[in-house]
Amino acid sequence: MHIYTNISDIPGSFPRAAVTIGNFDGVHLGHQILFSEVVSRAYRNKGTSVAVTFEPHPLKIVRPDIGLKLISTAEQKKELIALANIDALIILPFTREFANTPAEVFVDQVLCQAIGVQDLVVGYDYAFGKNRHGDIPFLQEQGKSKGFTVSVVEPYYVEGMLASSSKIRELVGLGKMKYVKKLLGRYYQIRGEVRMGKQRGGPLLGFPTANLAIAEEDLCPRLGVYVTQVIYDGKCYGGVLNIGYNPTFAGNQLCAETHIFDFNQDIYGKPIKINLLRFLREEKRFSGPAELATQIAIDVAAARNILSEAKKEILLSCEEKYNR
């Protein structure tokens, strides 16, 4: 997949371009249907499949007051779109000036002149441009006058749940990872470099942990303990994760601490990925290290049991392209 971070980077319009536009936060199943349709149209026409997205997310510019938390980082989004077999990804810098671009100017300058759109595929609720004037009826009229088709992909539901970024954010906040997986088509994942913690896990509690910081802009799952799958250096390990503030030790910094099963490597400063499989319990304050260590042992036993029962499914997820 070729990635362009500005319209000026595109060497020329793409041959018989099939295009979709969106924020694609999380690259959930609804987004994947869009990509599949674009790839299919490009294949039939011997053309190019193109996805257009924005960085940062437009709501961070036009509605900074809502404090939007993203499901996927910019890097994750690129990886996931590449896995959808899109030929070209165009990431447009989103600024206040860009937000004021009239919809017709965007169609003329970006879709038609720069990209050479032949087929446009959009979601059922898509709108863009100043005052969101570029809605589906507008695009259909533009397509008629400027020679491109417009296809609308209908909403996608799983067990009565709409596959949408907002619904997934809600479920992540509730710790409902089973349903998050149903809408994403994969486990919800956090990632980062392992940092030095307080060194309590191994020496004091008997359960060494790999610690990740959670930034303010990150989408933080419900605080508590989770069964996890940890991916490091291309291999997968079971584990338990605590997301919270360490109330037993009067902590005040939010962090994610993972005890990795059957693992004994120095990974400080190394990148890891953590899939959240199931919420076990809420974070709570214990009377001291001994009581906390007892509870961790119970959590580990429960997690191992869950991992064992779902061994086939978890093994398949570990081999999935998303974790490589």
Catalytic site positions: 257
The whole-angstrom separation of Cα 86 and Cα 22 is 14
Largest CA distance in the chain: 73
Smallest CA-to-CA distance from 110 within 98, 96, 121, 122 is with: 98
Report the DSSP beta bridge partners of residue 235: 232
Q: Identify the H or E element spanning 145.
A: helix 136-146
133/120 Cα distance (integer angstroms): 17
Element (H, E) at 156: none
Q: State the DSSP string of 216-264.
A: TTB-PPPSEEEEEEEEETTEEEEEEEEEE--GGGT--S-EEEEEETT--
Structure tokens at 220: 């933080």
237 vs 261: CA distance, rounded Å: 6
| HSE-CB of 46 using CA atoms within 13 angstroms | 0
| Encoded tokens for 3 | 């990635």
Strands 149-153 and 48-55: unpaired
Report residue 56 as tokens: 């940062």
Kind plus residue range of the DSSP H or E element containing 320: none
